[in-house]
């Protein structure tokens, strides 16, 4: 199936070959992520060891960012996607039949590597395949698909485990990756670049050429990722601190996630029509204020209100980090640039829980919330200063 070169509204035709396999594979991964620590414990790991096994997936995602750019440039986005999904299948089967914690840990780490490849290749593909006037909506929809998979995956995992046990969940996830790989084979081939470089593009050269972009817009995007991930850690901890039980905490978080999941297309439409700042900056202001004021929430109703507004701020920003990165990416060396972009923003994502942990170790939890709020507000100003708006064609 060849790419037809039509960059307009027909980007929605990519729904079956991009969004469907993404949703299917993310549902599979969403099903097994909560089960990894349980599997590690069943294999004899201590609680700290089980936590480390879980962390290896995120570590693998960071470690794999730059190699993913090299692989995508060498083999192309379509082959990279199919290859990464095949690696996932092997890793999930290994998890299902892991004889000990070491084997499980290795498989989990490699899934992080392949996850970096999948994320980069999808972003790079859509950057080329979709016209600039529809780019934000296409990438926001991709971000929304991630959220849907993350929500539905644990529900599917719970259903599978309750009937067939832990091992079956990994087998089902391997099946979803197989289905995703099969559908991805139908992905249209991208057109060849008009100007082919005379020699292979070097990763370090691309990173050096665009170091200023990573240090400016990339830092702002990393701050956005930091504030986003803080919600997952801070909200449950604050619920626990004010005395809410696990059921009430789950409902509060579900409310936030539900609002989050429904707004991705709205954010993409605003970005395409008015510019990237009109989503990235309000998103940071909304989340920053919520975190700064969270210490004043001492009831279920108050926490639920803050959770809902956090969901609003996070939901409208779905895909904005990918969109800003795609806007800044060069025609030559795009996969390498996006690899550096994903590494920069991934460091921000990893820093959120670490910052909360460090502050909570020496100060009240409220101080951590206020600090995250300050990062959000300062980050909003930083994004307004450094995010460049592309010249989007009039509709």
DSSP 174-240: HHHHHHHHHHHTTPPBPPPPSS--SSPPPHHHHHHHTHHHHHTHHHHHHHHHHHHHHHHHHHHHHHH
What average pLDDT does the structure give for the chain? 89
| Percent of the chain's residues with pLDDT above 70 | 93
Q: H helices of 242-333, where?
A: 246-262, 264-274, 277-293, 300-316, 320-328
- Give the per-residue pLDDT at 197: 64
CATH number of the domain at 203-386, please? 1.20.1250.20
- Residue 393, pLDDT above cutoff 90: no
pLDDT in tens, 76-107: 999 999 999 999 999 999 999 999 999 999 99
**In the predicted model, what is the mean pLDDT of residues 135-152?**
88
Look up residue 20 and give its two tokens.
């469907």
Helix (H) or strand (E) holding 97: none
Residue 385 scores a pLDDT above 50: yes
- Number of helices and strands in the chain (H, E): 18, 0
The b-or-e profile of 304-330 (16+ CB within 10 A means b, else e) is bebbbbbbbbbbbbbbbbbbbbbbbbe
Measured distance CA(208)–CA(222) in Å, rounded = 18
pLDDT value at residue 194: 62
pLDDT at residue 312 in the model: 94
Residue 68 is predicted with a pLDDT of 95
What is the separation, in whole angstroms, between the first and last Cα of the chain?
A: 29
Give the pLDDT mean for 389-395: 66
Using CA atoms, how far apart are residues 37 and 54, in angstroms rounded to an integer?
Answer: 6
pLDDT of residue 4: 46
Residue 6 pLDDT class (50, 70, 90 cuts): very low
Structure tokens at 27: 């549902």
Task: Compute the distance between CA of residue 222 and CA of residue 324 in angstroms, rounded to an integer.
Answer: 11
Give tens-digit pLDDT for 220-274. Answer: 999 999 999 888 888 888 988 898 887 788 788 888 888 888 898 899 999 999 9
Question: Model confidence over 19-48: pLDDT tens digits?
Answer: 889 999 989 988 888 888 889 989 998 878
Q: Which residue has the tokens 């959000």?
A: 376
Q: Sort residue 44 into left (φ over 0), alpha (ψ -120 to 50) or beta.
A: left
Quick one: pLDDT band at residue 198, thresholds 50, 70, 90? low
Reading the block at residue 157, the tokens are 């995992």
Residue 2 confidence (pLDDT) above 90: no
pLDDT of amino acid 10: 56
Task: Give mean pLDDT, residues 284-289.
Answer: 97
pTM of the predicted protein model: 0.90
Q: Which CATH superfamily is domain 9-184 in?
A: MFS general substrate transporter like domains (1.20.1250.20)
For 157, the enclosing helix (H) or strand (E) is helix 135-164
Least confident of 14-23, 58-67, 307-316, 320-329: 14-23
pLDDT for 356 equals 87
Higher pLDDT, 395 or 161: 161
pLDDT, greater one: 360 or 283: 283
pLDDT at 354: 85
Shared fold status for 9-184 and 203-386: yes
Alpha carbons 45 and 58: distance in angstroms, whole number? 19
Confidence of residue 64 (pLDDT cuts 50, 70, 90): very high
Helix, strand or coil, per DSSP, at residue 83? helix
CA dihedral 274, 276, 278, 282 (to 10 degrees): 160
Nearest partner of 344 among 227, 203, 207, 247, judged by Cα: 207
Delimit the domains of the chain by residue range. Answer: 9-184, 203-386
Token pair for 147: 């959220």
The whole-number average pLDDT for the span 308-327 is 94
∠ CA 364-366-370, nearest 5°, is: 125
- Residues 339 and 217 sit within 8 Å (Cβ to Cβ): no
Q: Which pLDDT belongs to residue 158?
A: 85
């Amino acid at each position: 199936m060849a790419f037809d070169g039509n960059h307009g509204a027909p980007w929605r035709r990519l729904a079956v070959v991009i969004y469907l396999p993404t949703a299917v594979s993310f549902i599979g991964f969403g099903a097994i992520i909560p089960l990894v620590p349980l599997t590690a414990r069943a294999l004899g790991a201590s609680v700290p060891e089980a936590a480390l096994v879980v962390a290896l997936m995120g570590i693998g995602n960071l470690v794999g960012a730059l190699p993913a750019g090299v692989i995508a440039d060498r083999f192309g986005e379509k082959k990279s996607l199919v290859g990464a999904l095949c690696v996932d299948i092997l890793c999930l089967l290994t998890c299902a039949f892991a004889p000990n914690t070491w084997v499980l840990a290795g498989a989990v780490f490699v899934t992080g590597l392949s996850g970096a490849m999948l994320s980069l290749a999808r972003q790079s593909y859509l950057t080329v395949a979709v016209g600039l006037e529809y780019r934000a909506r296409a990438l926001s929809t991709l971000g929304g698909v991630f959220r849907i998979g993350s929500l539905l995956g644990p529900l599917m995992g719970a259903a599978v485990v309750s009937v067939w046990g832990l091992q079956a969940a990994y087998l089902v996830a391997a099946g979803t990756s197989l289905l995703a790989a099969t559908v991805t084979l139908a992905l249209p081939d991208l057109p060849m670049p008009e100007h082919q470089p005379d020699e292979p593009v070097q990763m370090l050269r691309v990173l050096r050429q665009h170091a200023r972009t990573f240090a400016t817009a990339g830092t702002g995007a990393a701050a956005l990722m930091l504030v986003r991930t803080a919600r997952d850690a801070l909200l449950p901890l604050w619920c626990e601190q004010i005395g809410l039980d696990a059921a009430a905490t789950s409902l509060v978080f579900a409310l936030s996630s539900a609002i989050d999941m429904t707004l991705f297309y709205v954010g993409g439409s605003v970005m395409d029509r008015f510019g990237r700042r009109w989503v990235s900056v309000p998103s940071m202001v909304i989340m920053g204020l919520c975190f700064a004021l969270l210490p004043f929430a001492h009831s279920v109703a108050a926490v639920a209100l803050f959770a809902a507004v956090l969901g609003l701020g996070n939901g409208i920003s779905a895909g904005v980090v990918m969109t800003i990165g795609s806007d800044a990416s060069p025609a030559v060396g795009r996969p390498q640039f996006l690899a550096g972009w994903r590494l920069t923003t991934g460091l921000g994502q990893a820093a959120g829980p670490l910052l909360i942990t460090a502050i909570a170790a020496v100060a009240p939890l409220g101080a951590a919330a206020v600090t995250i709020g300050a990062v959000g507000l300062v980050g909003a100003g930083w994004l307004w200063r450094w995010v460049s708006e592309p010249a989007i064609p009039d509709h």
